[in-house]
Structure 1
Amino acid sequence: MVLDLVLIGLAIAVFPLSVTAFVLVLSTRGGVWKGLIFILAWLACFVAVLAVVLLTTGGEPPAPRSPPSTAASAAKLAIGVGLLGYGWHRHRSGPGGRERTGSPAGCRPKSPGGLMGRLDRISLWTAAGLAPLLQPWGLVAAGAATVVDADLSHTSSYLALFAYCLLATSSLLTMEVYTTFAPDSARVRLGRLRTWIETHQEQALVTVALVAGLFLVSRSIAQLTS
C-alpha cells in the first residue's frame, strides 16, 4: 500500500493543470490568502475521501481474494488502463490535435478566456470551490482504492495516510510557503514555472498518465493473480 500511495501522491502533486491553476491563484490580489483557502479545501477533499473509504472498511483491510479486495484491485486496473489510453490518445493527437479536451484525472484545460483567464477576479469562496474542481479525480480514485488496504490497528497505516495527503499537497504547500516569505522572488520564479508548464503541458500530461497508468496496471494485475 505504501509504495502505491507514494507514486499516486507524487502524480497528484505534479499534475500540470492543478499546479498551473494554483500558480494563477497565487498571482491574484491577496493570492496568499486565496492559496491558503485553496489548500485547506484541497486537503478537506482528501480527508473526506479517506474517511468514506475507512468508514466503509471499518479500518480493517479485506482478506486477500475476497470480493472487496478483488473489487479494489479491479478498480485500480480500470483506472490504470484509462490513464494508459488517455496518455496514448494525447500522444497520438499531438500538440495541435483537436481532441485535446479531456482528462481522466478529472480536469480539463481551459481556453485563455475560460476558467484560467478569470482567476484574477476570484474570491476566497471561489478559491475554495476551485480546489475540488481542479483535483485529478482519476488519481484520487486510485488512491481511494489503495486505501482500502489500510489497517488502522497499526500506527504505520496512520503515518502512511498522513504522508500520502502531505505528498499529494506538497507542490501547493511549497509554492504557498515560498510566496508567503519571498513574494517578489516567488512571483518571478512561479511565473517561469507557469510558462514552462504551459509550454510543456502535453508532454507532462502524457508522462504522468503513462507512468501512473503502467504502475497501477502492473500492481493491480499482480494483486489479482497472486
Structure 2
Amino acid sequence: MVLDLLVIGLAIAVFPLSVTAFVLVLSAPGGIWKGLVFILAWLACFVVVLAAVLLTTGGEPPAPKSPPSTASSSVKLAIGLGLVAYGWHRHRIRERTGDRHKSSGGLTARLDQLSLWTSAGLAPLLQPWGLVAAGAATVVSADMSHVASYLALFGYCLLASSSLLVMEVYTTFAPDSARVRLGKLRTWIETHQEQTLVAVALVAGIFLVSRSIAQLTS
C-alpha cells in the first residue's frame, strides 16, 4: 500500500494543470489568502474521500482474493488503463498538431477576479480525480489497527499537497523572490504542459496496471 500511495501522491503533486492554476491563484490580488483557502479545500477533499473509504471498510483490509480485494484491484487496473489511454491520446494529438504551447491568458484574467469562496470551490475541480480514485482504491487495504497505516495516510495527503504547500509557504515568507521564481515555473509548465501531462499519465498508468495485474494474479 505504501509504495502505491507514494507513486500516486507524487503524480498528484506534480499534476501540471493543478500546479499551474495554483500559481495563478497565488499571483492574483490577495493570493496568499486565496492560496490558503485553496489548500484547505484541497485537503478537505482528501479527508472526505479517505474517511468514506475507511467507514466502508471499517478500517480492516479485505482478505486476499475476496470480492472487495478483487474489486479494489480491478478499479485500479481500470484507472491505470484509462491513464495510459489518456496519455497516449494526448501524445498522438500533440504529434499531429505540433501544439506544444498552451495559453492561459483567459484563465489568468478570470483568476484575477477570484474570490475566497470561488478559490475554495476551484480546488476540488482541479484535483486529478482519476489519481485520487486510485488512491482511494489503494486505501481499501489499509489496516487502521496499526499506527503505521495512519502515518501512511497522513504522508499520502501531505505528499499529494506538497507542491501547493511549498509554493504557499514560499510566497508567504519571501513574496518578492517567490513572484519571480513562480513566474518562471508557470512559464516552464505552460511550454511543457503537454509533455508533462503525457509523462505523468503514462508513468502513473503503467505503474497502476502492473501493480493491479500482480495483485489480481498473485
> Shorter-chain TM-score: which interval?
over 0.9
TM-score (norm 2): 0.96
Distance in 2 (alpha carbons) for counterparts of 1:26 and 1:61: 40
Task: Please give the alpha-carbon distance, in whole angstroms, between the structure 2 residues aligned to 1:136 and 1:99.
Answer: 22
Question: Match of 1:122, SS?
Answer: coil
- In structure 2, the residue matched to 1:167 is 159
Asked if 1:191 is matched to 2:212, the reply is: no
Match of 2:216 in 1: 224
1:47 alignment partner in structure 2 = 47
| 1:38 and 1:128 in contact (8 A); partners too | yes
**What displacement does 1:117 show?**
3.5
| Paired position in structure 2 for 1:158 | 150
Instruction: Output the amino acid matched with 2:125.
Output: L
Distance 2:215 2:103 in 1: 37
Separation in 2 of the partners of 1:55 and 1:98? 47
What CA distance in whole angstroms lies between the structure 2 residues aligned with 1:162 and 1:177? 19
TM-score, with length taken from structure 1: 0.93
Shift of 1:173: 0.2
Amino acid aligned to 1:68 = P
**Structure 1 segment 22-37 matched on structure 2, within 5 A:** 22-37=22-37
Change (3 A) 1:39 1:55: same
1:153–1:136 distance in 2 versus 1, CA, 3 Å: same
Gaps of 5+ in 2: none
Task: State the secondary structure of the residue aligned to 1:55.
Answer: helix
How far apart are the structure 1 equivalents of 2:33 and 2:93? 39
Match of 1:118 among 97, 105, 110: 110
Partner of 1:7: 7
Aligned residue pair count? 217
Decide whether aligned partners of structure 1 residues 191 and 99 sit closer, same or farther in structure 2, where only a CA change above 3 A counts.
closer
Question: Is residue 140 of structure 1 aligned with residue 148 of structure 2?
Answer: no
Letter in 1 for 2:192: H
Write the distance in 2 (CA, Å) between the matches of 1:59 and 1:110.
Answer: 45
Residue 110 of structure 1 deviates from its aligned partner by: 8.3
Partners of 1:203 and 1:126 lie apart in 2 by: 29
In the alignment, is the contact (CA less than 8 A) between 1:9 and 1:168 conserved in 2?
Answer: yes
The alignment yields a C-alpha RMSD, in angstroms, of 1.7
Contact 1:95 1:202 in 2 (8 A): no
CA contact (8 A) 1:110 1:116 kept: no
Deviations 1:69-119 (A, max 9, x none): 00000000000000000111111111674999xxxxxxxx88643x45300
Aligned AA for 1:143? Answer: G
Indicate the residue corresponding to 2:90 in structure 1.
90
With over 3 angstroms needed to count, the CA separation of the structure-2 counterparts of 1:72 and 1:199, relative to structure 1, is: same
- Correspondence 1:71-86 to 2 at 5 A: 71-86=71-86
2:198 matched residue in structure 1? 206
Q: Which runs of 4+ in 1 moved over 4 A?
A: none
Does the 8 Å contact 2:103/2:190 carry over to 1?
no
Q: Give the aligned residue type for 1:137.
A: W
Measured in 1, the distance between the counterparts of 2:69 and 2:94 equals: 38
Instruction: Give the match for residue 67 of structure 2.
Output: 67
SS in 2 for 1:62: coil
